[in-house]
Chains A and B, each alone.
Chain A
């Protein structure tokens, strides 16, 4: 077929070698892939490799570095700020992911009912995910203000549940949980809307069958909804863990790692050491230290959940 078309094309259009060249498949494949692969190789693969190399050097801004082996990692290992940032990142990812998926799944289940103005609701719910994260983070910064926080106002002046205004960002633990809350807020829409799409593909016949078998609402959720949702849940979870683990914007905008470096995530610490601090090698080492965690988290969330796909006998690929 292809050959015939090419032959015909060559016959009819005698514009010459250029036309024929563009119908020569290997050349066409090369030309088509050139822009995308070229950009990705130069600006993604090369920096990825360069980053690993930089992690083993003492490069600074404006000065090429020398290979120093594992020295960066050794000094980080004894650096309390770095160790705190690792724990913070794990806590942040763990708690925020549980929160996002608990609440997101609940919201998806609510939206899966027959509702008036359903598409409007869906549109409104996605707004936090559309708006630039930094700009909504600035709104959270203002919501968490020690003097004029609206949450404190409601708790103290409206409801009278507390005596004093909460100092959200002034102490390490409140600051960490304030950041986690903002991250959950930011993540719910994505989880809810993707899971809603998954819910809508589940055939109502399955629920009818379950009901005929006498399954109650919880059993229907546990034995029909959850297994059917598992494949899409695995993908959404992988993405969510990946992007929460490497989150930068929220923390940088709201606390910049403060108070006293207690809320740094690995990404913000890498930025602080690398760009304003000028220690490119050390910053790169922190960024590279994220890679094993990321690979593990991705493999775990993908295989632990995606495995279920063939257990359900849905697909054997």
Chain B
């Protein structure tokens, strides 16, 4: 079929192929590829540049576009960051967020490893339904859950405590991690585990000594991803925490740094910037794992 069509329209083919070569050379490639691509990158990154430049501007430059170029800063200042670190509870908020994110991630990873192992390796009756149920749990958005969850948290006496967040974050972390890990466990040959069991290892020894070391990239992906998701979480932290000093960074920046009608844009931007840095750092070290977990989660 292909040959036939090609023979029938030789001139067309030649023209097309010539067109393809044309396409990848010179000005046309610039217009169709590099120009839109650089526009995308500029638009996607500009808010961060703007955040950073605002954070180090003194007020005299911040509110005067007539005499200063707003895209640059003449006399950078650390005053905003200084104010943030020493006159507010910002270090405390960072510490809280770090603790909550770490503990919630550890808890979810632990539960997910066991669940994924049970679903993928122990293959019990109905295991695929349990897998499906966990997947469906991922589709339940926090916006629907936070009100009944708030009443539950209140009944359990966890309101305004870090445990409220540590115990509720796994509701969106476990489904995600479990699915990612099921995918990883699938890619590990079962024969390796069989060998270990023939040599007399118990199931849990096999999991600990054979499966987990082999699934390490998957564990890292799931771990850093879960950490990022809990660092970024907003609605539960907003609803379940009341005292100013116990808030997480995203909530505290929005609710504690905005005082009345006067917005201190310099320190607000500094707060947003500092709050983004931990995840940005983690991200820069593990880019490939992020991409793997993102695409892996979608493909499953």
Please give the residue numbers on chain A whose beta carbons come within 8 Å of chain B beta carbons, in ascending order: 1-2, 4-5, 8-9, 12-13, 19, 22-23, 25-26, 28-29, 31-37, 39-40, 43-48, 50-51, 54, 59, 103, 106-107, 110-111, 113, 115, 119, 121-128, 130-136, 138-140, 142-143, 145, 148, 150, 153, 157, 185, 188-190, 193-194, 197, 209, 211-217, 232, 235-236, 239, 242-243, 245-249, 252-253, 266-267, 270-271, 274-275, 280, 283-284, 287-288, 290-291, 294, 298
Contact B174 A39 (CB under 8 A): yes
Known A-B contacts A40-B137, A47-B149, A121-B41; A130 and B280 likewise in contact (beta carbons under 8 Å):
yes
Question: B152 touches which one: A13, A50, A126, A145 (CB < 8 A)?
Answer: A50
Contact B37 A9 (CB under 8 A): no
B23 → A minimal CB distance (Å) = 8
**Could you list 13 further interchain pairs (A-B, Cβ under 8 angstroms) beyond the known A37-B130, A50-B151, A134-B232?**
A19-B202, A43-B152, A51-B144, A110-B33, A113-B33, A128-B44, A135-B51, A135-B250, A135-B272, A212-B13, A236-B298, A242-B139, A275-B238
A189–B146 Cα distance when bound, in Å, is 27
| CB of B117 closer than 8 Å to a CB of A | yes
B36 — which chain A residues lie within 8 A by C-beta?
106, 110
Near A by CB (< 8 A), chain B positions 119-155 give 122, 124, 130, 134, 137, 139-152
Contact B148 A188 (CB under 8 A): no
- Top 3 A-B pairs ranked by shortest CB distance? A32-B118, A36-B115, A35-B111
Contact A249 B235 (CB under 8 A): yes
A8–B198 Cα distance when bound, in Å, is 8
Contact A287 B198 (CB under 8 A): no
Contact B148 A153 (CB under 8 A): no
Interface string of B1-26 (1 = CB under 8 A from A): 01001100100110011011001000
B260 → A minimal CB distance (Å) = 14
| CB of B178 closer than 8 Å to a CB of A | yes
Question: B150 touches which one: A33, A45, A214, A275 (CB < 8 A)?
Answer: A275
Contact B65 A157 (CB under 8 A): yes
Please give the residue numbers on chain B whose beta carbons come within 8 Å of chain A beta carbons, in ascending order: 2, 5-6, 9, 12-13, 16-17, 19-20, 23, 33, 36-37, 40-41, 43-45, 47-48, 50-51, 54, 62-63, 65, 70, 107, 110-112, 114-115, 117-118, 122, 124, 130, 134, 137, 139-152, 167-168, 170-171, 174-175, 178, 194, 197-198, 200-204, 228, 231-232, 234-235, 238-239, 249-251, 253-254, 265, 268-269, 271-273, 275-276, 279-280, 283-284, 287-288, 290-291, 294-295, 298-299
A110 — which chain B residues lie within 8 A by C-beta?
33, 36-37, 40
CB nearest neighbor in A for B225: A130
B254 — which chain A residues lie within 8 A by C-beta?
134, 138, 252-253
Known A-B contacts A29-B122, A54-B147, A290-B144; A125 and B152 likewise in contact (beta carbons under 8 Å):
no
Contact A214 B253 (CB under 8 A): no
Question: A33 touches which one: B17, B115, B238, B294 (CB < 8 A)?
Answer: B115
A133 — which chain B residues lie within 8 A by C-beta?
232, 234, 250
B187 → A minimal CB distance (Å) = 16
Contact B280 A131 (CB under 8 A): yes
- Return 5 A-B CB contacts under 8 Å, by A number: A138-B268, A214-B12, A217-B23, A287-B146, A298-B139
Contact A134 B148 (CB under 8 A): no
Contact A211 B33 (CB under 8 A): no
A267–B141 Cα distance when bound, in Å, is 10
CB nearest neighbor in B for A62: B154
A290–B147 Cα distance when bound, in Å, is 13
Contact A1 B194 (CB under 8 A): yes
Contact A132 B147 (CB under 8 A): no
A236 — which chain B residues lie within 8 A by C-beta?
298
